Every structure is written in structure tokens, then in C-alpha cells.
Amino acid sequence: MSEMFKITLPDGSSREVAPGTTPADIAAAIGPGLAKAAIGARVNGELFDITRPFEGDAALALVTARDEADALELVRHDYAHVLAEAVQALFPGTQITFGPSTDDGFYYDFAPKDRAFTEDDLPAIEEAMRKIIAADKPLRREVWSRADLIARWQAEGETFKAEWAAELPENEELTVYWSGSDWLDMCRGPHLASTGKLDPQAFKLTRVSGAYWRGDQANAMLSRVYGTGWLNKKQLDAHLTRLEEAAKRDHRKLGAEMDLFHLQQEAHGSVFWHPKGFRIYRELEAYMRRAIDGAGYKEVKTPQVMDARQWEQSGHWGKYRENMFVIPDEVPNTEDEGPVISGEADWMALKPMNCPAHVLIFRQGLKSYRELPLRFYENGCCHRNEPHGALHGLMRVRQFTQDDAHIFCREDQIVSEARAFCALADRIYKDFGFTYAIKLALRPEKRFGSEEMWDKAEEELRNAVIEAGLATAEYGWEELPGEGAFYAPKLEWHLTDAIGRTWQVGTLQSDRVLPERLDAAYVGEDGEKHRPVMLHRAIFGSYERFIGILIEHFAGRLPAWLAPVQAVVATIVSDADDYAHEATAALRAAGIRTETDTRNEKINYKVREHSLQKVPYLLVVGKREAEEGTVAIRTLGEQHQKVIPLAETIALLRSEATPPDLRA
């Protein structure tokens, strides 16, 4: 009798099974309901096909649609494969490459034989996908030898797959998945048992774009087809509704309508702030300065350009250089002939971050343990060499300003400083109406520092969150293995906006590496030199991105204290022009950002125009209001208006226009 395997279930019970048994067999043995509901399995914690035989003793947890994260991972992976099969059926000669799942769906990169795909192709591809789903084709895993797999791909003209198969690690098991008996793809899996397990009404192909093979601009241009995939049509419909709402809130569209900013080719990834947009920026800057002044920070300003040797010493030159703008330290050639630069000059770089410069400030003059913690803050302008194709409005730019600070502290001060930062971030995010989740990103595979150092740093941040009372389900507390920076673990604040999207914004990193590399030291109580710990922290992350998030969160209807124009006094008749100017002057004297609209236009036109500009308050005045010293006040988004005395209006608007941290 062959050796039996012991399979342990989540409730602690176990079963002895013969080799060749699958998770599907276990589900069937438990009951027909579970057999029908189970779509995958976690075997020793790893997501597996439900039809893949056990290879030894194992802990088993069956996956159903209730395990939404795992279920979505499975179905989205399947939709990607079905997409690839459908495309090759419709467009013979198309080569396949990669097709991963994404946060809300999937995509697949293709090398078409004759022409790039367009969005006009999507309806036909969708229909072909539904036919494959309806055929309920079994999805079957096989292990192949490298030589056989490469030969298969070469014989079928799949040069991209053959190249990838040849470069996979020698010790890696190469697997394929068959769809029925006539189509296969190289894939690690896992997959559902068959294509019929997918809901044919729960996916939609959304767009087509270009993508370079393996992300390298020197390689072939491919056609990338994107889709969104869900467990059922209800989820898909809800997602499409969210997309429609997101499109209405797109900060690029609203930024143009509200005349806040623009971007153009002459300065890729850099923002041209218009007066109204820069008013929002200035209000945020003033708000943050009040917050950091109250929290004991000292504001500094550091150079934009520093010698490459400084970046080498900090470690950024080796770990981050591809994201830096580097410049030669020489006067360029001004002659028409010859190269602009010699190629022999020393290199300098625009700063991608502020931390090394803050260490250099800390190093000026001997520091005592009594002076710590030292909290240096900078509205620091940084540059990062992002690829053109990755740029996205205010959300991903090349030039940005961080609300950046670095806290130099003693070992015994780390937890209290981190806890104080948690409280500060909590207050600020709540002032803007955000809820958030807090997560701890742990050591990455490539990193500086010892294991002991990482153990200590991770535990300190964990303890700070626990002491702040934030390590709970209410705050979405989670630990993220492998996602820390190369020099430090970090706490991350993920904001949730008005339509349920999350944005990673604030961070706190506990760093012992940079003070060591840049030789930062203070004199301790024992008279000896000690290394400070450096806490890197930001709350907005960058002003540009935070403003983009705010525009989309509020759909352009910013709180009155942030609105570039807080009120407009609009006339119905020219007889009220003088009164309108008097009212505007009184509102401005009270600190309310007010404009006057005395154009010879109908009032409905003025209301519509200022509503599109998202002005919080429209104060309508006519002959009667001028005689009585009143205004008809209309709040953005409301249909009705009320007539109240001008003095009462000023008091109301002054209260609404006061930043939340200055309200009594």
C-alpha cells in the first residue's frame, strides 16, 4: 500500500488520503454544497488549483467566492488566459506574451501579426471570450521540460514565449495550462477548474494601449488589452459605476474647468500652477506650517543640486540612480560644432529626496543628547526621472514638493516620537475628512543593514502604532512583507476617498542606515559619540499629488477654506453694481476670497458658470437687495437660496472660510 498523506483542515481535524487526491476530492467528501462552492485551495498557505494533487502532508483551506481576494485573483487570472485564447482565435499569427491580473482586472500583451489592436476590436474579442467560457473547457496543469517547452514555442512561432522560457531560472519548474485540448499558455497558475466557472457577464474589456516587451523602450512595441473582471455581474456593474464617477472627478478634467493648473510637453511631468490652483497650494502650505510649528519642528531649506559623491555615500547613486536627473559639473560648449558637454566632468544630480541634505544640516556643529529630538522640516522641491508613459496629471510627476521632515532622535525616543507622529497624522487627515488604514511595510529582499537592526526598527514602529491605539481592524492595520525601503521599514497611511478608492500618502520610516553612511553623531550622556536614529516622515506625501487627491475626493467642491474663490457677488441688474462692489469690499475685508460678477448676462448663466467653477457661495444682489443691505445666498449644489443681511452673510462665510485648525 502506498504512503498516505495527512491533510489538516482549518478546524484542526485531519484526513488520511492517498497520493493523487486533490482539494476537490476533499471538498466532495465533506459535502456536495462545498464541492460546488469550492473554486480553489490554499495548500500550506499557497494558492493552488482545486484539481492539483497533493504532493505530501499539507494544511488545506478551501477557497470559495466568500474568500473574495483569493477568488478574484483566480478569476482575473483566468479571464486573462481566456482573452489570450480568444485573440489568437480571431487574429491568427498573433503572438502571446504576458497576462497578469491587476487590482481591478487583468491585461494581456500581444504581438499582432499585421496591425496593432484598437478599441474597435474589443466587442468581437469579448464575444469570442464568452464562447470559450460557455464551452466550459477544462484548465489542466502540466509540468514540461525546458527543452520541450522552448521547442514548442519556436515551432509555433511564439518567439517572445521562447525567449522568456529560455531565461527562467534553471531550478524553476516550468508549467503550462491547457484550455481544453487545443490551446495552452506557459503559466505558474493557479487557475479555476474550467472556463465555465467564470461568469460570462462579469467582465468587460476596457481599453487598448501600447506597451514595450519587458518594459524596455529598446524592445518591440506590443498591443496591451486591458479588462476588468469580477465574480458576478453585480460586482462588475458596481465597478463600472465607480469608474463613471471617477471619470467625472478626474482632477485633470476638473483642473482645466476650474482653471487650476496645466501640464505641457515643454516641461514633462512638471506642473504649471495657475493663480487659483496655487491658492489651494498656498492654503495647504500655510496649514501644514501651522501644524509643524505647533509640533516643534524647525523649518529648513536645502540645495536642489548636490555632487554625485554625496549621493554615492548615501547609497542613492547605486540604488536609485535610474530615477535621478544627473547633470555634468561644467560649462557647456557654446560653439555650433562639437559636443555640448565633454563627457569628462564630475557628475551632480537634482535631488530626488531631501534626507541626505538634512543629515548635512544635523552634522553642522556638535550635537548633545539634550538637544534631541531635532525635527527638521522642509517644503522640499524634488525631481525624479519618471518615464514619460508613467506620468499622470498631478498624481505622478517629475517635479514635486514634499511636506518632508526628518526627526533625529535617541534610541529611547523612537517610540514616543513615532507615536506623536501618528497622532499628528490622524488629526490632519481627519481635518480633511479622510478615513485611513495604517500598514507596516517590512524589510525588502535587497536592503542595507543587519537583521538585528531590521528586527529592532520594525518592532519600534509596530509598538508605536499599538501604543497609539491604531493597530486595530478599524484602522485597517496590516503588515506588508517585503515592501519597506532599502534602508528602513515604514509605516504607510492609506487614505480612502469619497468613492472608496485608496491612496497611499503618508509615511514614517525608522532609519539607522543613513546616519551611519553619512556619519551623523551626537554626544551622549556618557560623553561618547552615538548615532542618532533618523525618522523620515511625510503626511501629504507631495503637495501635487495631495491636491489631485483632494480635487477627486471632493469632486472639485473643495471645503470653503480651501476653495480658491470662496464667494462671488453676482448682480441681477446694473442698478446693483455699486452695491455689489461694496459687498465684495466688505467680504474681502473680513478675509473672504471674493470676486464680483457685474457682467451684462442673465443670472441663470452666471449661476451655471460659477457652479462649474465650484465656487462655494454665490451671493446674488438686485435692486431690492441693494436697498435693504441684504444678499440672496446660494450654496453650491443646492437649488434654493435665502435672503439674509450682508453682515450675517459675512459672519457665516467667515466661519466656513476659517481653516479647521484655527476654529475655536
So which residues are the catalytic ones? 355, 384, 402, 404, 406, 490, 536
Backbone φ and ψ for 187, nearest 5 degrees, come out as -165, 145
**In terms of C-beta density within 10 A (0-12 exposed, 13-18 middle, 19 or more buried), how is residue 69 classed?**
exposed
- Asked if 326 and 384 count as a contact pair (C-beta separation under 8 A), the reply is no
Task: Supply φ then ψ for residue 223, to 5 degrees.
Answer: -105, 120
Q: Provide the CA 480 distance to its chain's centre, in angstroms.
A: 15
CA–CA distance, 466 with 454 (Å, rounded to integer) = 18
Q: Where are the alpha helices (DSSP H) in 135-220?
A: 146-155, 159-167
Check whether the bond before 190 is cis (ω within 30° of 0).
yes
Q: Is the four-CA dihedral 292, 297, 298, 301 of positive or negative sign?
A: negative
Q: Which residues contact 18 (CB under 8 A, 6 or more apart)?
A: 2, 4, 5
Strands of 5-8's sheet in order across: 14-17, 5-8, 58-63, 40-43, 46-48
Euclidean distance between CA atoms 68 and 229, whole angstroms: 13
Nearest to 521 by CA among 535, 534, 506, 536: 534
* 493 vs 507: CA distance, rounded Å: 6
Three-class DSSP category at 476: coil
What is the DSSP code (8-state) at residue 631?
E
